[in-house]
């Protein structure tokens, strides 16, 4: 009998060598770890194919037939054992590059076998490398018959095609009446497929081996799996029990049981993620009083009535109201401000900072890059004009005396708004009375990092996180699940939607003519090259080659170039030349992605657009369309694109809506690839739930978690004990979960 915490080594069929593989490759140490390793797909083994049916598009086939003969082919490392395998409709070659001796000894030419694997065309025939091969059990005969009948029609079509002699006249005893279209799955027709690594495959530890071990373990468990959700919840939501779900997730009794097992386990997973994050938000609310910003005074009103250069949009007004209410409520604000590129978040941040000023508090605005911080500084100073509100900049390049002066004035309370990069989190940056922290464009700021800013004041400051990368709702609920959300869903009036065009790089002449026309109209142009970390050197070479080409193509223009390898001062100088209009073309990497504002720039050309994420493309596109002129975004790609890539580019051409784009991106690529999620330090190693597909379950899980917290704030109702214990256990095993505390 086995228990979940038992070392995997002593499970029959495992042993030290396999245990080490499981351990090293998949982090599996105990019986429980093994059972927590879920299949990534299921294969319907009720369907048998005939060899004559095989075509090049099948991911796998299951065949029933006999080995006609064995043969050894090739020399040296290419040496392999080939078994010619036939079923009366044709022949495929089963091929083994390893373990030939074992195969030749174990299988013979008299016994019928079931063979399973991926067929690949080879020299006018199909072969299956390293197939699964086994003796059929009693249920197979029935399944073969069933499949065989479905193929009768097919057989008739093939009758004239010179079918070989029938080895197994299975069609003779096929049932006379047609079967239902989708006959009920016989037990175990759905077989699990487990992901295995290259090393595991070489160690003869393929999916089917793993599956055998799991099957054995499940049958030998000393006790049923304990329930991991409160009984009332399981009952009310009619969830499958944990025990049943764990068994069915590996070996589904039917397609329906599999669906139920999956939803149960997904729900459970999402439920605990949400319980963890909501519990954290609640505890935070209880623990910290917030600063009360009750006054609306000269700073706010003076700006609103005398300095605001335009009418606020309705969305800006609504959001400012939400934030004001929140900051006046007596609890600490933790709010996410979402709004598409160019919707005017900076202005909202400024007006909130002015509220802080009116209440005797300082504000700190954090930007991800120096350029952006500098631009914020310039924007804020310009908007404030002659108002007695002092804004200063603190970045890594502010040094020496200047730095000391700013730090001193900050501590004395003479600086009202400090704009900066990560430099502002440093310990020696001290405020007199920090009341508001604004984090701009920060996907990359985890909960724990945000919390560090609180230590800058006795009462933790209000926190406003602003993001222009629209995050799909499901992702926001997980990534920023502890934050209240405000959305600016409206652009300032008078903006012309940007026209997005997909162009193949072979059509460069047309592209260049287009660029030239815009420059002749007095506009400026961005040309962006991808820069992906792993191949940075090569990318810089690409960029430099591109730069040279642009200079040749446009001899009449001045061209700037900016990339991440430049020193901040050089980068800044180049940027400034473009901002002032001294250069017409800016060749750059994605360093210009965030925040740069040059209203006269009307064309954004993105080279190798297929290498960018959609949200990133959208951000880049947001650099143009800031003036009154018609702007263009041109996505340049090579001619041959995969289906997914083609779709992704099309999404960009069709939509200007950042939220829609983010949703599509999530659907096409999955959350793991979404920008910012890897660095976020949040629980994205979801084992079974999928943020792109399980939105409804996620919402349900969030509601249930919130309800549980409301009903049992002291966490001491006996019927919920199972949930609190489970949460505690998960926080021990998920490092990133307890980073939230």
Q: Which CB atom, from 65 or from 344, has the smaller least distance to Mg ion?
A: 344
In this structure, the strands spanning 190-193 and 41-44 are antiparallel
Question: What backbone phi and psi angles, to 5 degrees, belong to 412?
Answer: -80, -10
CB of 201 vs ligand ADP, minimal distance in Å: 49
Residue nearest to ligand ADP (CB): 344
Exposed/middle/buried for residue 507 (C-beta within 10 Å: 0-12, 13-18, 19+): exposed
CB of 623 vs Mg ion, minimal distance in Å: 11
CB of 236 vs ligand ADP, minimal distance in Å: 43
- What, of ligand ADP, Mg ion, none, does residue 122 touch, CB below 5 to 8 Å by kind? none
Region near Mg ion per CB under 5 A, out of 152-160, 214-222, 590-598, 715-723:
590-598
Binding site for ligand ADP (CB under 6 A): 310-313, 316, 339, 341-347, 468, 492, 597
Lookup: tokens for 489: 């869903």
Site for Mg ion in 594-613 (CB under 5 A): 595
Distance of CA 228 to the CA centre of its chain: 27
**CA dist 108 → 105, 137, 498 (Å):** 8, 17, 68
* Cα gap 514→499, rounded to integer Å: 13
Q: Is residue 470 classed as helix, strand or coil in its secondary structure?
A: coil
CB of 337 vs ligand ADP, minimal distance in Å: 9
Q: Are 270 and 693 in contact (CB under 8 A)?
A: no
Q: Which CB atom, from 342 or from 671, has the smaller least distance to ligand ADP?
A: 342
Q: Which CB atom, from 383 or from 634, has the smaller least distance to ligand ADP?
A: 383
CB of 346 vs Mg ion, minimal distance in Å: 5
Strand partners, 67: 85
* Cα gap 482→635, rounded to integer Å: 37
Q: Which CB atom, from 200 or from 591, has the smaller least distance to Mg ion?
A: 591
Question: What backbone phi and psi angles, to 5 degrees, belong to 130?
Answer: 45, 60
Radius of gyration (C-alpha) of the chain in whole angstroms: 32
CB of 35 vs ligand ADP, minimal distance in Å: 48
- What, of Mg ion, ligand ADP, none, does residue 372 touch, CB below 5 to 8 Å by kind? none
Residue nearest to Mg ion (CB): 595
- What, of Mg ion, ligand ADP, none, does residue 339 touch, CB below 5 to 8 Å by kind? ligand ADP
Q: Which CB atom, from 261 or from 337, has the smaller least distance to ligand ADP?
A: 337
CB of 440 vs Mg ion, minimal distance in Å: 6
Q: Which CB atom, from 316 or from 656, has the smaller least distance to ligand ADP?
A: 316
DSSP 496: P
CB atoms within 10 A of CB 392: 20
Q: Which CB atom, from 39 or from 344, has the smaller least distance to ligand ADP?
A: 344
CB of 594 vs Mg ion, minimal distance in Å: 8
Exposed/middle/buried for residue 612 (C-beta within 10 Å: 0-12, 13-18, 19+): buried
* Cα gap 188→338, rounded to integer Å: 48
- What, of ligand ADP, Mg ion, none, does residue 344 touch, CB below 5 to 8 Å by kind? ligand ADP
* Cα gap 318→329, rounded to integer Å: 17
Region near Mg ion per CB under 5 A, out of 456-464, 546-554, 589-597, 630-638:
589-597
Per-residue binder mask for Mg ion (CB under 5 A), 404-443, x = binder: ----------------------------------------
Smallest Cα–Cα separation from 333: which of 431, 441, 437?
437
CB of 260 vs ligand ADP, minimal distance in Å: 44
- What, of Mg ion, ligand ADP, none, does residue 366 touch, CB below 5 to 8 Å by kind? none
Q: Which CB atom, from 50 or from 345, has the smaller least distance to ligand ADP?
A: 345
Region near Mg ion per CB under 5 A, out of 205-213, 221-229, 587-595, 650-658:
587-595
Q: Are 45 and 189 in contact (CB under 8 A)?
A: yes
Q: Are 63 and 115 in contact (CB under 8 A)?
A: yes
Q: Is residue 463 classed as helix, strand or coil in its secondary structure?
A: strand
CB of 440 vs ligand ADP, minimal distance in Å: 7
Per-residue binder mask for Mg ion (CB under 5 A), 213-252, x = binder: ----------------------------------------
- What, of ligand ADP, Mg ion, none, does residue 378 touch, CB below 5 to 8 Å by kind? none
CB of 544 vs ligand ADP, minimal distance in Å: 30
Q: Which CB atom, from 140 or from 380, has the smaller least distance to ligand ADP?
A: 380
CA neighbours closer than 13 Å in the CB half-sphere of residue 532: 9
CB atoms within 10 A of CB 308: 13
Q: Are 363 and 377 in contact (CB under 8 A)?
A: no
What is the arrangement of strands in the sheet containing 112-117, beginning at the earlier edge strand? Answer: 119-122, 125-129, 91-96, 80-86, 61-73, 112-117, 132-134
- Give the torsion sign (CA, 165, 170, 172, 178): negative
- What, of Mg ion, ligand ADP, none, does residue 343 touch, CB below 5 to 8 Å by kind? ligand ADP
The torsion region of residue 608 among left (phi > 0), alpha (psi -120 to 50) and beta comes to left
Q: Are 568 and 595 in contact (CB under 8 A)?
A: no
Helix axes 370-384, 568-579, angle to 10 degrees: 50
CB of 667 vs ligand ADP, minimal distance in Å: 25
Per-residue binder mask for Mg ion (CB under 5 A), 539-578, x = binder: ----------------------------------------
Q: Give how many residues touch Mg ion by CB under 5 A.
A: 1
Q: Which CB atom, from 28 or from 596, has the smaller least distance to ligand ADP?
A: 596
Q: Which CB atom, from 114 or from 377, has the smaller least distance to ligand ADP?
A: 377
Q: Which CB atom, from 58 or from 308, has the smaller least distance to ligand ADP?
A: 308
**CA dist 630 → 203, 614, 633 (Å):** 61, 22, 10
Distance of CA 325 to the CA centre of its chain: 34
CB of 30 vs ligand ADP, minimal distance in Å: 49
Give the total residue count for the chain.
741
Q: Which CB atom, from 595 or from 676, has the smaller least distance to Mg ion?
A: 595
CB of 280 vs ligand ADP, minimal distance in Å: 28
HEC sequence for 247-313: HHHHCCCCHHHHHHHHHHHHHHHHHHHHHHHHHHHHHHHHHCECCCCCCCCHHHHHHHHHHCCCCCC
- What, of ligand ADP, Mg ion, none, does residue 263 touch, CB below 5 to 8 Å by kind? none
Q: Which CB atom, from 243 or from 657, has the smaller least distance to Mg ion?
A: 657
* Cα gap 305→308, rounded to integer Å: 7
- What, of ligand ADP, Mg ion, none, does residue 470 touch, CB below 5 to 8 Å by kind? none
Interface ranges with Mg ion (CB under 5 A): 595
């Amino acid at each position: 009998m086995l228990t979940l915490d038992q070392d995997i080594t002593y499970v029959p069929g495992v042993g030290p060598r396999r245990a080490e593989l499981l351990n090293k490759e998949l982090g599996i140490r105990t019986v429980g770890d093994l059972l927590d390793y879920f299949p990534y797909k299921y294969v319907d083994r009720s369907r048998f194919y005939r060899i004559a049916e095989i075509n090049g598009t099948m991911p796998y086939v299951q065949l029933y037939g006999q080995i006609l003969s064995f043969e050894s082919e090739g020399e040296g490392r290419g040496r392999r054992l080939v078994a010619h395998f036939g079923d009366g409709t044709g022949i495929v070659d089963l091929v083994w590059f390893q373990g030939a001796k074992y195969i030749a000894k174990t299988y013979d030419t008299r016994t019928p076998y079931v063979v399973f694997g991926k067929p690949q065309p080879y020299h006018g025939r199909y072969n299956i490398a390293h197939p699964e091969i086994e003796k059929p059990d009693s249920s197979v005969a029935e399944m073969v018959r069933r499949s065989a009948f479905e193929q009768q029609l097919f057989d008739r079509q093939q009758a004239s095609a010179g079918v070989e002699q029938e080895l197994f006249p299975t069609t003779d005893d096929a049932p006379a009446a047609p079967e239902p279209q989708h006959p009920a799955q016989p037990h175990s027709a759905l077989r699990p497929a487990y992901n295995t690594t290259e090393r595991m495959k070489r160690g003869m530890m393929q999916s089917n081996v793993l599956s055998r071990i799991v099957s054995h373990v499940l049958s030998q468990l000393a006790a049923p799996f304990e329930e991991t959700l409160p009984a009332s919840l399981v009952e009310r939501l009619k969830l499958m029990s944990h025990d049943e779900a764990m068994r069915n997730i590996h070996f589904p009794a039917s397609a329906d049981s599999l669906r139920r097992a999956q939803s149960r386990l997904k729900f459970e997973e999402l439920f605990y993620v949400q319980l963890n994050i909501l519990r954290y938000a609640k505890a935070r609310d209880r623990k910290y009083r917030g600063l009360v910003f009750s006054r609306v005074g000269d700073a706010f009103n003076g700006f609103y009535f005398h300095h605001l250069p335009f009418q606020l949009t309705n969305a800006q007004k609504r959001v400012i109201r939400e934030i004001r209410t929140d900051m006046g409520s007596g609890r600490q604000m933790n709010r996410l401000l979402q709004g598409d590129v160019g919707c005017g978040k900076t202005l909202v941040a400024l007006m909130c900072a002015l509220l802080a000023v009116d209440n005797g508090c300082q504000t700190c605005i954090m930007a991800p890059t120096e350029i952006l911080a500098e631009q914020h500084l310039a924007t804020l100073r310009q908007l404030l004009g002659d108002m007695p509100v002092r804004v200063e900049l603190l970045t890594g390049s502010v040094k020496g005396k200047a730095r000391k002066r700013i730090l001193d004035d900050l501590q004395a309370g003479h600086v009202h708004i400090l704009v900066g990069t990560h430099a502002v989190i440093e310990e020696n940056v001290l405020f007199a009375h920090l009341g508001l922290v604004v984090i701009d464009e920060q996907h990359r700021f985890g909960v724990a990092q945000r919390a560090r800013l609180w230590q800058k004041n006795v009462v933790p400051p209000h926190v406003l996180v602003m993001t222009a990368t629209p995050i799909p709702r499901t992702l926001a609920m997980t990534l920023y699940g502890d934050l209240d959300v405000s959305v600016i869903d409206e652009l300032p009036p008078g903006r012309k939607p940007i026209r997005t065009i997909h162009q193949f790089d072979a059509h460069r002449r047309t592209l260049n003519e287009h660029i030239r026309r815009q420059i002749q109209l007095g506009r400026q142009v961005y040309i962006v090259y991808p820069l992906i970390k792993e191949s940075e050197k090569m990318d810089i070479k690409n960029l430099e080659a591109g730069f040279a080409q642009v200079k040749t193509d446009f001899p009449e223009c001045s061209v700037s170039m900016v990339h991440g390898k430049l020193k901040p001062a050089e980068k800044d100088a180049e940027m400034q030349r473009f901002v002032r209009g001294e250069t017409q073309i800016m060749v750059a990497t994605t360093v210009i992605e965030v925040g740069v504002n040059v209203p006269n720039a009307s064309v954004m050309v993105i080279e190798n657009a297929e290498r960018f994420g959609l949200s990133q493309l959208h951000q880049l596109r947001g650099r143009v369309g800031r003036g009154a002129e018609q702007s263009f975004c041109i996505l340049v790609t090579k001619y041959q694109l995969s289906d997914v890539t083609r779709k992704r580019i099309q999404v960009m051409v069709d939509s200007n809506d950042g939220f829609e784009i983010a949703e599509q991106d999530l659907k096409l690529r999955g959350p793991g690839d979404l920008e910012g999620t890897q660095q976020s330090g949040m629980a994205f190693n979801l084992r079974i739930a999928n943020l792109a597909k399980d939105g409804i379950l996620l919402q349900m899980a969030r509601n249930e978690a919130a309800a549980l917290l409301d009903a049992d704030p002291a966490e001491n109702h006996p019927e919920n004990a199972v949930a609190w214990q489970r949460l505690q256990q998960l926080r021990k095993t998920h490092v990133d979960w307890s980073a939230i505390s």
